[in-house]
Structure 1
Amino acid sequence: MSPLDPELLDILVCPETHRPVVLADEPLVARVNRMAGEGSVSNRGGATVQPGLEALLLRDDGRVAYPVREEIPIMLIDESIDIAALPGPADADAPTP
């Protein structure tokens, strides 16, 4: 079940590129939460990402994700996570067309 209203999800876009965002799959959210728990994930503003993300909104190119906390998407560039820079299988995180 999605933590976001589908109508809200339909209108959200990346604030940087204005590209659409999609709800990331559970394996990516789990991977980011695991790495955040290890202290190895920083957001684009340089702050360490705290574990416990409910969801991620993945830009449609699979390179950047925006966290969702308490059912609120945090659509700020500095809060976004550079998924492409994370160690591991970046291609596996890209949305399928």
Structure 2
Amino acid sequence: MINPKLVELLVCPENRTPVQEADAALIDKINAAIAAGSLNNRAGKLIDEPIEGGLVREDGLLLYLIRDDIPVMVIDEAIPLEQVS
């Protein structure tokens, strides 16, 4: 689990809005889409490995991955959440 104090300091690198940790239900939906082979990152690359967590931008449009408890705040690696129903 990522340190909550770190999450408070982080912002979306694209629009500088706050992020919050994704809940388990969203992570489950994302992992189901990954398993179905239907999820791409912002750069268009197919995501083929389940994720352990993520940070959701305040407007709910993007999720930044958390890998090994480290947030990956790279815009092109973010997951556009409109792909997840």
Query: Could you say which TM-score interval applies, normalised by the shorter chain?
Result: over 0.9
Structure 1's 19 and 5: CA in aligned 2 closer, same or farther, altered over 3 A?
Answer: same
Unaligned 5+ segments in structure 1 are 89-97
Asked if 1:86 is matched to 2:83, the reply is yes
| Conservation of the 8 A alpha-carbon contact between 1:13 and 1:21 | yes
RMSD: 1.0
Percent identity reads: 38
CA distance in 2, matches of 1:87, 1:62: 11
* AA at the equivalent of 2:42: R
Alpha-carbon separation, structure 1, partners of 2:51 and 2:5: 21
Query: Which of these residues, 74, 92, 96, is aligned with residue 72 of structure 2?
Result: 74
- Equivalent pair of 1:34/1:51 in contact (CA under 8 Å): no
Name the count of aligned residue pairs.
Answer: 85
Consecutive unaligned residues of structure 2, counting only runs of 5 or more, are none
Q: Which structure is richer in relative contact order (CA contacts within 8 A, separation 6 or more)?
A: 2
TM-score of the two chains, using structure 1 as the length reference: 0.82
